[in-house]
Structure 1
Amino acid sequence: MITTATTRQPPRWVDFHCHLDLYRDHAAVIAECDRERVATLAVTTTPKAWKRNRELATASQHVRVALGLHPQLVAERAGELPLFEALLPDARYVGEIGLDAGPRFYRSFPEQERIFERILRVCAEQGGKILTVHSVRSVAKVLDHIEAALPRDRGRVILHWFTGTPAEARRAAAMGCYFSINREMLRSDRHRKLVAGLPLDRLLTETDGPFVEAEGLPVRPTSVADTVTELASLRAVEAGQIARTIIANLRTLVTA
């Protein structure tokens, strides 16, 4: 799992997409993840941020760090792709990566596609990587690139904050993708209906903290407990069942 085989206490919760280095109390949040047993994937937005993030989490039982090159930063950081490739052999987890076709970032979309395809291909070459992927207004393109460049037996994909169509969700599930869900996704009826239709054995929870807020404050990894409660209500099952399922899904993801 995100925790190692020698961890004495298994995780209680999962936050599979959180920007820990963007919290002012970065080290304290890592300690909180360990104390509360939140299996947390700390994503990075540039390759230059990865080493320091990994150093801070090196003694953590429950925090792992992903090597990222965020699509929203490609216009300024495309030159870091060689550094990404140099660091990749030491990184099992990859993210945040992907595509963003929103108005603010559409001008860089061709370059985003180039970077994303290259990342997928080098991940496929090395094998065994677990990728958390951004797909704003670009789900079909993201799935096309994954289908072309990352065979299912060469890596595993989690679609972070998925807001595609039901047809795209079915396609992603058929490709073996997982979906990480945060509380903000469950605010609209459309997205609640979408999440309700996702395969239960492909669900993970996330916060995307500190970007998501609750009562004016950034959510923290422990906030996934609230998301579990909302998912349980959406599925008409007990919260404990959802929590156990998500832990089991994580175990399957990282041991397959």
Structure 2
Amino acid sequence: MIHSIIDAHIHFDQYSESARSTILKDLQAYKVEALISVSTNLASSQRNLALAEMDQRIKPAFGFHPEQELPGDWELSQMCSFLDEHKNQMVAVGEVGLPYYLRIEHPDIQVEPYIEILDVFVKQASKLNKPIILHAVYDDAPVVCDLLEKHSVTKAHFHWFKGDAKTIQRMIQNGYYISVTPDCLYETEIQQLIKEYSLDKLMVETDGPWPFEGPFKNMVTHPKMIHRSIQLIAEIKKVPVEKVYVDIYGNTKTFYGL
């Protein structure tokens, strides 16, 4: 039997209108209570705000995704103003972070300007007393931890996290949350992370419309997939699946103040 759950990280504004309609119609049947819909830039933030105004199950987060060209001064200023203006409508600042994959494709890209932009968003999260949703994997994660500690931001959610054991322990000690995607069903690295990370700081996500392999190959990414993630977490943690449902649902509600 499935229980209520929340998709802790989805780019809902990036789906087609028909796909969004289908997903919203399905949510009740699959007991998906809410979608934390993250943004990639100012236009994306505006779309997510509009979607949230249409359906209260969509919980928007506003930010600038790092795996793209840096925003200009005007867009960054407008983004900060948008966060201030709509702080009561948003559940978090995000998605923000550092461009790990972009730098693999373009090794000449300098990371320092991205760190400066991230510093702005971390300060915004602190000022507005909002959680922050982070794209920070492998070698970037310690840099982000430094920024969070610098600004005393503790409500941090590292989505689809990957990193070394030392950083994982640092994040656990700091009380940061992570979330795993449906790739946990076939990625041993993510399965190991589930073993190591505390259940009371764990959430589940789809990162849709990002596509997956394994049992989800050639399928449109749908929040219903996270039920499979819950079942696997229960197997890995060797605890009843009902407990995993209750704990992860509670973690997400508490973290996002839902």
| Superposition TM-score, scaled by structure 2 size | 0.86
Shift of 1:123: 1.7
Instruction: Indicate yes or no: 2:25 matched with 1:26.
Output: no
Query: How many angstroms apart in 1 are the aligned matches of 2:72 and 2:38?
Result: 16
Mapping for residues 86-125 of structure 1, pairs under 5 Å: 86-89=81-84, 90=86, 91-102=90-101, 103-104=104-105, 107-125=109-127
**C-alpha distance 243-249 of structure 1, shift in aligned 2 (>3 A):** same
* Shift in Å, 1:124: 1.0
Contact 1:100-1:136 within 8 A present in 2 as well: no
The Cα offsets for residues 11-42 of structure 1, whole Å up to 9 and x where unpaired, read as: 81121111111212234333433554422101
- How far does the alpha carbon of each residue in 1:137-159 deviate from its partner, in whole angstroms, 9 at most, with x for none? 3111111111112433xxx1111
Change (3 A) 1:195 1:105: farther
* 8 Å CA contact retained: 1:34, 1:61: no
CA contact (8 A) 1:74 1:111 kept: no
Q: Paired residue for 1:212?
A: 211
User: Which of 4, 24, 33 lines up with 1:12 in the alignment?
Assistant: 4
Change in CA separation of 1:203 and 1:244 when aligned onto 2, cut-off 3 Å = same
Deviation readout 1:84-110 (Å, 9 max, x if unpaired)? 101112133221111123312551422
Query: Structure 1 residues 105 and 111, CA, compared in 2 at 3 Å: closer, same or farther?
Result: farther
Structure 1: gaps spanning 5 or more residues: 1-10
Shift of 1:222: 1.5
Q: What is the number of equivalent residue pairs in this alignment?
A: 242
Match of 1:157 in 2: 156
Q: Contact 2:59 / 2:91 at 8 angstroms: preserved in 1?
A: no
Distance 1:170 1:47, change over 3 A: same
Distance 1:203 1:247 in 2: 9
Question: Residues 104-143 of structure 1: CA distance to partner in whole angstroms, max 9, x if unpaired?
Answer: 255142221011001111221222x122100133111111
* Aligned residue number for residue 3 of structure 1: none
Q: In structure 2, do the counterparts of structure 1 residues 105 and 229 end up closer, same or farther at CA, with 3 Å as the change threshold?
A: farther
Unaligned runs of 5+ in 2: none
Q: Percent identity?
A: 24
Check the 8 A contact 1:30/1:63 in 2, yes or no: no
Distance of 2:73 and 2:224 partners within structure 1: 33
Task: Identify the residue that residue 143 of structure 2 maps to in structure 1.
Answer: 141
Is 1:242–2:234 an aligned residue pair?
Answer: no
- Cα pair distance change 1:52/1:255, threshold 3 Å: closer
| Residue aligned with 2:62, SS | coil
Residues 160 and 180 of structure 2 are in contact (CA less than 8 Å); yes or no, is this contact kept in structure 1?
yes
Structure 1 residue ranges (4+ consecutive) displaced by more than 6 angstroms after TM superposition: none
The superposition leaves residues 191-218 of structure 1 with CA deviations (integer Å, 9 ceiling, x where unpaired) of 3112211011000000111113212123
| Equivalent in the alignment of 1:8 | none
* Conservation of the 8 A alpha-carbon contact between 1:159 and 1:177: yes
1:169 aligns to what?
168
Matched, 1:81 2:80: no
Deviations 1:47-83 (A, max 9, x none): 2221222212224242201102000124356652111
The Cα RMSD (Å) is 2.1
TM-score (normalizing by structure 1): 0.86
